[in-house]
Amino acid sequence: MITPPPSVSVVICTLNREESLIHVLKLLLDQTITPLEILAIDQSQTHKQETWDYLNEQQGRIRRLTLPSPSTTAARNLARKEVGGDIILFLDDDVLFHPSLIEKHLANYSDPQIGAVSGKVLYDGCEENDLPWAAQLTRTGKYLRNFTTNQRCLVPTLYGCNMSIRRSVLQKVGEFDLHYWGNFLWEEVDYALQIRKHGFQIQYDPRAEVFHVMEKKGGSRNPPPKQYLESTIFNDWYFLFKYFSPWYGPFLFYRQKRTWFQYARSNQGNIFPLLKQIVQARRQIKLNIMI
């Protein structure tokens, strides 16, 4: 008896995107393996009429869910509760891909130890390579990302714009951490570490390839400049306090030097709000431990 392939739910977390969102949705409707469902987690306050028309036309094939406040983690948590597929493919609303994307992701799930898959992510100016690794997380918390390699390998992290996760793993691991905010740096890396903590492996497959357009307008990772820098400091330190020793703080300060300089230059030399973000990150970790 032939076992049917696992079903796939595709999740697009979108904010203030128009043509690029419609293009991604159209690409999903032209896959070699038809998804069980397509969920658009829409955090936009409004859309162009053309976008509304398309979403209304595709109501039977695309399910639109809304959030009152933009949040990548909250959007993914909402999707986690709503999806029905065996495999959940998370894509950004500004990526391009071939009709075989779902097929290439699914090809990795015959191994029950694989809990998640990250695909290749190309972008303007990137260079493909043949290095034997796609991602590394150093002992001091530095994140080395190389999701442009042509070599298939196991990785410690996920790349949020092109990642798939077993629904059973999503249920075991639980929610994405809502404390990441603003630019939401580290949230998918955090979740990847939790997946591995539960005994699953993460596969990098270069055949599951997208091109990340990185639209300048819109996007839930594109807050105002000042907020972007403040959330960078909080998210960096929150992640460090959560997974690494505070003694590695000097290494993080060194890696953040450009962020501190940019903030001081744009805020008349006042860096107190950034120091406050570090204190808040530490306080939140302590609260997490107490709960």
Tell me the pLDDT of the chain (291 aa) as tens digits.
667 789 999 999 999 899 999 999 999 999 999 999 999 999 988 899 999 999 999 998 999 999 888 899 999 999 999 999 999 999 999 999 999 999 999 999 999 999 999 999 999 999 999 999 999 999 888 999 999 999 999 999 999 999 999 999 999 999 999 999 998 899 999 999 999 999 999 999 999 999 999 877 767 666 678 999 999 999 999 999 999 999 999 999 999 999 999 999 999 999 999 999 999 999 999 998 876
Reference 162, options 203, 199, 200, 133; nearest CA is 203
**Residue 46 and residue 183 in one domain:** yes
Whether 29 is in a domain gets the answer yes
**Residue 230 and residue 159 in one domain:** no
Alpha helices in 14-128 (DSSP H): 19-28, 49-57, 72-82, 101-106
Whether 61 is in a domain gets the answer yes
Q: Which of 152, 181, 212 is the last residue of a domain?
A: 212
**Residue 162 and residue 44 in one domain:** yes
**Residue 234 and residue 101 in one domain:** no
Query: Is beta strand 153-154 parallel, antiparallel or unpaired with respect to 62-66?
Result: unpaired
Judging by beta carbons within 10 Å of its beta carbon (0-12, 13-18, 19+), is residue 60 exposed, middle or buried? exposed
Residue 234: domain span? 225-290
Structure tokens at 149: 């390699």
**Residue 256 and residue 144 in one domain:** no
- Provide the number of structural domains found in the chain: 2
Whether 217 is in a domain gets the answer no
The three state secondary structure string of 173-225 is HCCCCCCCCCCCCCHHHHHHHHHHHCCCEEEEEEEEEEEECCCCCCCCCCCCH
CATH number at residue 19: 3.90.550.60
What is the chain's length? Answer: 291
Q: Buried (b) or exposed (e) across 188-207, using 16+ Cβ within 10 A?
A: bbbbbbbbbeeebebbbbbb
Whether 1 is in a domain gets the answer no
User: Can you list the pairs that 75-78 forms with residues at least 24 positions away whose Cβ atoms lie under 8 Å?
Assistant: 75/13, 75/41, 75/43, 75/220, 76/11, 76/13, 76/41, 76/176, 77/175, 77/176, 77/178, 78/41
The model carries a pTM of 0.94
Whether 22 is in a domain gets the answer yes
**Residue 41 and residue 102 in one domain:** yes
Judging by beta carbons within 10 Å of its beta carbon (0-12, 13-18, 19+), is residue 98 exposed, middle or buried? middle
Residue 268: DSSP 8-state: T
Tokens 């390998």 correspond to 153
Whether 220 is in a domain gets the answer no
